[in-house]
Amino acid sequence: MNKYEALVERLREINNINNAVSVLSWDQQTSMPPGGAPARARQMGTLARIGHELFTDEATGRLLNEAENEVDDVYESDAVSMLRVVRKDYSEATRLPAAFVAEFTQLTALAHEVWAKARAASDFAAFAPTLEKLLELAHRGAEYLGYEEHPYDALLGRYEPGMTTRRVGEIFDAHRPVLTSLINRISAAPQVDDSAVRRRFEVAQQREFGLMVIQKMGFDMQRGLQAISVHPFCTSFSVNDVRITTRFEDDFLNPALFGMIHEAGHAMYEQGVAQHLDGTPLANGTSLGVHESQSRMWENIVGRSRGFWSWALPHLKTAFPQLSDVSDEAFYRAINKVERSFIRVEADEATYNLHIILRFEIEKDLLTGALAVKDLPRAWNERFETYLGVVPPNDALGCLQDVHWSAGLMGYFPTYALGNLLSVQYYDAAVTAHPDIPAQIARGEFGTLRQWLGQNIHQHGRKFTAEELTRRITGGSIDPAPYVRYLEAKFTDVYGL
């Protein structure tokens, strides 16, 4: 066995430990009794520490150095790409003390239960002390990792490598005024009636229909699973074991159906990574922005299109006869209603990025101390009113709605908006390569789009950075202009602007 093979074998063993942490986290969020939280936190903390210590051990560094000396320098090869990614991961991991990793993992495991109870009671004060501790760890983590301009850079870079706080600000500033203008014009137009999707829908039938749709799109249930959780998510233990969760409501079709499509978009990315990369550091999405581009593409560009529903609506009416009186046009407009709503995961395409911009700005201020935790609800509500024109009536609909902070995911939110922008750039590239894709979608045929995504994005895993991948596909970098054009065209049509 050469040094590269020895390194890969060691990395697969470390990956097994890290995936065991993910399995415990999945169980915690889907079926663990609340009383199990303290023990689960200790279990996850121990495994995270062991995995971190093995990865940052001198033996890993020595194998990495030796493997780099024996592998030919072909940038796109699996071996060179592996070493490039592992070198970056190793450099970051060795800056984080094992005790810090264990403390972080244990606190976030406990914080989830605190957050869930506080959210259910709409009581921010009950979560505030835990958030204080999480922010302290986030700040320490940023200092360990290091940064050039802003401590937020260190946290953002873990989810979107190469992206900076300054660049995110520029991207957001470039399209925020257009979004607010579009929303104002829509508000002044005759409003859409969405009562068709706000009837009573049996949860079991919602699930059955949703599973039919995502399997048709390409989610492989032989290598995937769907369950229920408070906050929908996707997790991967291997390319052959990818799981999603859904939140159902029996009086609203929207969150469950489109949430399931959204998470399936993530899952198809993970399932589409080349099999020979399974268990290695390359066997995941290259960045969360690219990951989000896949979920938002399937959820919105495909799932909320006229073409998709010309195929899907007859099937939906069979599942729910109460929709038999709803016309194709009325249904299409209902699922694309623009509304100044409070919940990010239920936000329409036009308002969604404003929800993210708000979180980005608040996270920066929390991290630097410009905003005190105790003042978070007030600051959230004030900024929400500025951007969206409404004020959340309580904390559950305001600053407590997201699971991310309790999971320690500070710096994660910008990737959602970046994913929206990339979704249009990638879809446009796919249609340029295969102009028949929209017509195929209208026939319930998704293979060409899925295969194009697999060949150009999924199979590579982490071999290329988001910037490299985007340049390979589009010839340029991330750009808000195509997304803005897409929104303008779509909602001019829906609202007759």
* Residues known to be catalytic: 263
CA atoms of 462 and 420, how far apart (whole Å): 20
SS (H, E, C) 132-200: HHHHHHHHHHHHHHCCCCCHHHHHHHHHCCCCCHHHHHHHHHHHHHHHHHHHHHHHHCCCCCCHHHCCC
The answer to whether 192 and 334 have CB atoms below 8 angstroms apart is yes
CA atoms of 373 and 369, how far apart (whole Å): 9
- Return the exposure string of 42-81: e unless at least 16 CB atoms fall within 10 Å of the residue's CB, then b: ebbbebbbbbbbbbbeeebeebbeebbeebeeeeeebbbb
Q: Tokens at residue 302, please?
A: 């495909």
Element (H, E) at 213: helix 203-217
Q: Within 13 A of 343's CA, how many CA atoms are on the CB side?
A: 11
For residues 289, 294, 297, 302, the Cα torsion angle rounded to the nearest 10 degrees is -170
Closest CA to 294 of 425, 191, 442, 384: 425
CA atoms of 262 and 255, how far apart (whole Å): 10
Closest CA to 313 of 289, 331, 340: 331
- Residue 185 has phi, psi (to 5 degrees) of -65, -40
- Residue 228 has phi, psi (to 5 degrees) of -115, 140
The sign of the torsion formed by the CA atoms of 225, 228, 234, 236 equals negative
The sign of the torsion formed by the CA atoms of 282, 286, 292, 297 equals negative
Q: Are strands 234-238 and 224-228 parallel, antiparallel or unpaired?
A: unpaired
CA 387 to chain centre: 22
CA atoms of 98 and 114, how far apart (whole Å): 25
What is the greatest pairwise CA distance in the chain? 70
DSSP structure class, residue 461: T
